[in-house]
Chain A
Amino acid sequence: MQEKKSNQQLLSLAEVPAGRYYIVALEPGFICGRLRRLGVKVGDTVQVIKPGPGPIIFLKGNMRIGIGWGLACRILVKPVEENRENL
């Protein structure tokens, strides 16, 4: 999954700083199913409040979701334009 990043600006949720991101891809299986229950899917915009290392907190709408670092590695995101300069 790591090799997908850089030139396309795809990063895993585990390695990005606080800011707003689009979810680009989710690893099928466990993570997809669990996030689905919380209403999170590919294409959603999320706001990372507490970045890694350690577990990550992000906001989806008004819902605050805490997720382990290992799982966050399997969520690929792309920064939303407005905070590109922060990256």
Chain B
Amino acid sequence: MGTGVQDSGQAGGGKQGESLMEVVKVALAGSPNTGKSTVFNALTGSHQRIGNWPGVTVEKMEGSYEWEGVTYQVVDLPGTYDFCAHTLDEKIARDYLLKEKPDVVVVVLNSCNLETNLYLLILVLEMGLRVVVALNMFDKACEQGLKIDYKRLGSILKVIFVPTVATRLIGIEELKKSISLALNQPLPLPPVNYGEKVEGLLREVEESVKHFPLPYPTRQVALRLAENDEEMKEWLKQHDSSGRVKMLLESLKEIVQDPEKFFWEKRYGFSHGLVMECTSLESNRQARVDFTNRLDRILTHPWAGLVVFMFLLALVFEIVFQWSSPFQVFLAGVFNLMAHSVRFLLKSVGAPDWLISFFTDGFFNGVGSVVSFLPNIFLLFLFFAALEDSGYMARVAFITDPVMHRLGLHGRSAISMVLGFGCNVPAILSTRTLESTRDRYLTILINPFMSCSARLPVYLLFCGVFFPRYQGAIVVSLYLIGVIMAVLTARIFAWLCFKEESTPLIMELPPYNVPVLRNMLNSAWYRTFLFLRKAGTVILISMLVVWLLGWLPPGSEYASRHSFLGRFGAFLAPVLKPAGFGFWEAAVALTCGLVAKEAVIGVLGTLYGGAASLNQVLGTVFTPVSAYSFLLMTLLYLPCLATIAAIKQEAGAKWAAVSIIWSLLVGWSAATIFYQLASLM
């Protein structure tokens, strides 16, 4: 298996001939916690987040590599245990495999957990797709004394098995070679025989449905129907007017009673048999298991676990603030210096006022005040990557489940909420692993209240001016208020719109790992890059629009009350007056915060003349009370455009609208109530 180097270009198979001209489509399938995303990274060298908790691959990730002159386009499918479309992830993976028909499917298995993982391999083989198996984490299986005869596994299933250790790039070249070899192999036969009677019935079902407009190949349609797949049952209702297929399925039920259980047991029995046949436990070395057990006793303890979780979060934020602040001051200084130099340079060549203002007010002061917070963002995502990679994030779902359940949410909602501290967009996408629509929609709806990293710069700026001594406490209070509002929102909407109970928690917990620095840096860099790109595109454009509106109509003084900007802000300002910041600059800043929350300070920077002077000006226009009220508003008032788009994509336009209206209401009310009460005291 997989021996002998063959020039894939010389191979005579028709498939290979075609693939030389076009691109070979490769899909990566596998269960959660098999290291699938790491294999994807190793194959394509792309920067992608990897995580230990189930379902991190929620966005469709694509990459490519070249092998012997051929381009291989790789799609990383969501990690699933099954393809029965219980969750959105399963449906995405199944539809991709059956409808897009990739040329080769790389099924990634966790070598330490073969029995469960082989089940998914059998499902892919039943789809009639060419398969190469990556036996990942092979080193860990060896460490545990597990000997896997992968050549024998390969010869039984007629599939190439390649042992890999993706974290250390071991076996990746061999995997690429095997993928090119697999292109010339005949399509696999279904590995499991379900017995004469059942197979006969399945063939009859295939015969009867083959004239219908089929969503999948006939064998898959027959199997899915036999397994009582909800989606296929609906499909059948539309097409099976004679009722013949229904009758066949009834007779299947008579033979096997519970078809779902029957097919599972057959496949599972087969994979159990394979494991018995092809693996042996040489010596029982369980050091890693014991380590994880010991750690779990503390980290998942009912109350100690929660204390550790709170402590870890506090520690992460403390380090993020402490470590990044010198860099941030430095970056702000650099931008300030650049603004001054450019102003000086342009003045000396006699450039017009508007051009000087364009570069200094619009560009350096606006974008600069946002970009200077780059170190905070990078560090925050670096620590989140560490939490995910180490396997701790999955425990967050576990330890918070009792609390979340009482609040009407699911343990996994907690993972989305924590991710929301980083960015609401991936956090909202991560809800795809939740099974019930109710849990998903509630988790999506509350996420914008989780204070994302884009809001952090606004807090830090105001804290630096108004609460230099209580910076930590103020920031923590804002994060807490965000969480409280999220929880209240969940309660209210659970009561209003979703009467049913949240689904109980059941999940695989990965063993603890020391996070790989390369993966952490990759992940943090990827998110920081997105932040930079946002700063360079939407934030830059909104800054320039603000700048332009500040200059217009011609003749008005820049960014004055009489500019278009001033007039627009003045129109909105009365609404904000009860909250304590009823001046037009604040209204403009908050409006631009819709584009991206960082833009709030960007706009203030543009209007008040740059990062350096911003501190002094803010001290004169806000009081500590109105400053805190402004921060409350920034925290709660509106999801940014990207988040609204994510909500619309995941839950539909109705819920996106609900989120906008609700958050505006909550933000304004919270700021107003706080300001009015605090002013009384």
Contact = CB atoms under 8 A, between A and B. Distances in A.
Nearest to B299: A50
Contact of B506 (A34, A50, A63): A34
A4 interface: no
A64 B506 contact: no
B411 A62 contact: no
A65 B508 CA distance: 4
12 contacts: A36-B264, A38-B508, A41-B265, A54-B399, A57-B398, A61-B113, A63-B508, A64-B509, A65-B509, A66-B509, A67-B506, A68-B505
Contacts of B81: 37-38
B402 interface: yes
A39 B508 CA distance: 11
B293 A65 contact: no
B591 interface: no
Interface of B: 81-82, 86, 112-113, 115-116, 119, 144, 260-261, 264-265, 268, 289, 292-293, 296-297, 300-302, 394, 397-399, 401-402, 405, 411, 503-511
Contact of A57 (B115, B119, B296): B296
Nearest to B33: A63
A57 B300 contact: yes
A65 B401 CA distance: 14
Closest 10 CB pairs of A and B: A39-B116, A68-B505, A54-B302, A37-B81, A68-B504, A64-B509, A66-B398, A62-B112, A71-B504, A34-B506
Contacts, number: 91
B268 A67 contact: no
A64 B394 CA distance: 11
A71 B505 contact: yes
Contact of B511 (A64, A65, A70): A64
Interface of A: 30-31, 33-39, 41, 49-50, 53-55, 57, 59, 61-71
Contacts of B405: 68, 70
B505 A66 contact: yes
B341 to A, nearest CB: 57
Contact of A62 (B119, B144, B503): B144
Given A59-B289, A71-B505, A64 B510 contact: yes
B506 A65 contact: yes
Contacts of A54: 302, 399, 402
A67 B503 CA distance: 11
Contacts of B144: 62
Nearest to B118: A39
A63 B293 CA distance: 12
Contacts of A64: 292, 296, 508-511
Contacts of A50: 296-297, 300-301
Nearest to A47: B293
A54 B86 CA distance: 26
Nearest to A49: B293
A39 B296 contact: no
Contacts of B507: 65-67
B168 to A, nearest CB: 20
Given A36-B264, A41-B268, A53-B302, A70 B508 contact: no
Contacts of A65: 506-509
A68 B292 contact: no
A32 B535 CA distance: 49
A17 to B, nearest CB: 13
Interface centre among A36, A54, A65 (most CB of B within 10 A): A54
Given A39-B119, A62-B112, A55 B293 contact: no
Contacts of B116: 38-39, 61, 63
A8 B301 CA distance: 30
Contacts of A63: 113, 116, 508
Nearest to B305: A54
Contacts of A39: 115-116, 119, 268
B135 to A, nearest CB: 14
Contact of A55 (B82, B289, B505): B505
A67 B505 contact: yes
A54 B399 CA distance: 8
Given A33-B260, A55-B399, A64-B509, 14 more contacts: A31-B506, A34-B506, A35-B506, A36-B264, A39-B115, A39-B116, A54-B302, A61-B113, A63-B113, A64-B296, A65-B507, A66-B394, A66-B505, A67-B504
Contacts of A35: 506
Contacts of B260: 33
Contacts of A67: 504-507
B231 to A, nearest CB: 16
Contacts of B113: 61-63
Interface centre among A35, A57, A61, A63 (most CB of B within 10 A): A63
Interface centre among A55, A63, A67, A69 (most CB of B within 10 A): A55
Contacts of A31: 504, 506
A6 B399 CA distance: 30
A55 B508 contact: no
Contacts of B293: 49
Contacts of B265: 41
A55 B402 contact: yes
A55 B264 contact: no
B115 A61 contact: yes
A32 to B, nearest CB: 8
Contacts of B301: 50
A57 B509 contact: yes
Interface centre among A34, A61, A62 (most CB of B within 10 A): A62
Contacts of B112: 62
